[in-house]
Amino acid sequence: MARRARNWNQSSSAAPRAGAETGLYCVPHLHSSGGSSLESWSRVGVRRLARRHARRSGSGNLRPCATCLSSRQLVAGLPGSRTRRRCAQARRSPASRPPTKEPPVRMDHLTVRSWQERDGHEGVRDAWLASREALVGRDWSQVAGTCGLCGSSRGFVLTESMDPRQPDIREGLLCRECRHNSRIRSSLRLLLDQLESLDHPPAVYLTEQVTGTFIWLQRHLRGTLLGSEFEPSFLKRMALTRRFHQAGGKGTVEYQDVTKLNFADASLDAIASFEVFEHVPDYRTAVSEFARVLKPGGTCVATFPFTDGPDTITRALVDEEGEVRHLLEPEYHGDPISGGVLCFYHFGWDVLDVFRSAGFSDVRMVMPCGLEHGLFYGLWTLVATR
């Protein structure tokens, strides 16, 4: 305390005259945008002076801090303090920063429209070679790069449960900032890119609602975001709703069957469906429903288990009596409430024809790639334009 007081007293002789305009200062973080430096000023002293100045000057001088993006705490007219000082809060808890308006990153991607085009595709081969080279002897404790979704350059990290000797890079390599895995980072970026050309706030539907992805979009999408879950059990619906709100979700959780959507015809600008189709026995009807509710020019972005072979593998089916028949060893995918959901399909390139038959005009598989974005080979994502 005595030291702080001494610093404050030392600096007081150099305190600014009213109206001195030498820089902009973020009050809580003392990050200066320029101006002269008064090295002897203590943090407490500058903060006190800044508050006093802010009271006198009113709100007209408030501007966002370029470092921590705090929008209310920057005041103009203070003399310099410790200039160019890094914002401590921005370093320690970057998730608390408001999102940047436009992610600065553009991801490269490969676009292929059929198995015939994919077979022998040089770009696909080069991406595979580059990815394989980067994977050999990789140190997973430090993966540098810029997230193509949130724009953060903090790099990437494997989930704690992932074995670094055999990592599942599609599912287990997370952005340190937004915590999205490679599959979501790449496919969500594709979705947002599709929406950029619209001249109105988009209406977007996600086929899963109780997920970190939906909650992230609630905070970042400028438009109408709709979502739903498929869960017949009342008790499990209660648990899902509780989980949604605990994770920071806003509003109520909706429940829908993707083969019987309750949206009006041509009412949505985009649909995103991540790892859902393989759990829907009658997925063809769901694709037709998506075509019905999308506006002309609307987009469906979807991920699912993809064999990258010509034909879809049917692992199980529902027979005429409504019973599940397993054609291969049952495969269940993780689900936070039910524990596991049966996987009916591993899709091949022929799934594109199902979308074309349902009325989509341009159907392609897109693979975002770029090691500098933590994206390795294999992130095939279906993009279909109505």
Rule CB under 5 A: which of 232-261 touch Zn ion?
none
Q: Categorise residue 276: left if φ over 0, alpha if ψ from -120 to 50, beta otherwise.
A: alpha
Rule CB under 5 A: which of 68-107 touch Zn ion?
none
Residue 173 as a binder of Zn ion (CB under 5 A): the answer is: no
Residue in 25, 27, 79, 177 binding Zn ion, rule: CB under 5 A:
177
Residue 375 as a binder of Zn ion (CB under 5 A): the answer is: no
Residue (105 or 382) nearer to Zn ion, CB: 105
- Residue 12 corresponds to which amino acid? S
Instruction: Report in angstroms how near the CB of residue 279 gets to Zn ion at its nearest.
Output: 27
Helix (H, G, I), strand (E, B) or coil at 39: coil
Sequence length of the chain is: 386
Residue (175 or 217) nearer to Zn ion, CB: 175
Instruction: Report in angstroms how near the CB of residue 374 gets to Zn ion at its nearest.
Output: 9
Residue (152 or 186) nearer to Zn ion, CB: 152
Rule CB under 5 A: which of 142-171 touch Zn ion?
147, 149-150, 152
- Rounded CA separation 278/325 (Å): 15
Instruction: Report in angstroms how near the CB of residue 301 gets to Zn ion at its nearest.
Output: 17
Torsion of CA 44, 45, 47, 51, to 10 degrees: 130
Residue (85 or 97) nearer to Zn ion, CB: 97
Residue 217 as a binder of Zn ion (CB under 5 A): the answer is: no
Residue (67 or 152) nearer to Zn ion, CB: 152
Residue 227 near residue 249 (C-beta atoms within 8 A): no
Residue (110 or 184) nearer to Zn ion, CB: 184
Residues 73, 78, 80: CA angle, nearest 5 degrees: 105
Instruction: Report in angstroms how near the CB of residue 177 gets to Zn ion at its nearest.
Output: 5
**Site size for Zn ion (CB under 5 A):** 7
Residue 253 near residue 262 (C-beta atoms within 8 A): no
- Rounded CA separation 163/224 (Å): 39
Residue in 175, 192, 301, 379 binding Zn ion, rule: CB under 5 A:
175
- Percentages (nearest 5) of helix, strand, coil residues in the chain: 30, 20, 50
Instruction: Report in angstroms how near the CB of residue 148 gets to Zn ion at its nearest.
Output: 8
Rule CB under 5 A: which of 108-147 touch Zn ion?
147
CB-based burial label for 176 (10 Å; 0-12, 13-18, 19+): middle
- Rounded CA separation 374/186 (Å): 10
Given the rule CB under 5 A, which of 88-96, 173-181, 200-208, 234-242 is the region that contacts Zn ion? 173-181
Residue (149 or 225) nearer to Zn ion, CB: 149
Candidates 204, 170, 211; CA nearest to 306 is 170
Q: List residues binding Zn ion (CB under 5 A).
A: 147, 149-150, 152, 175, 177-178
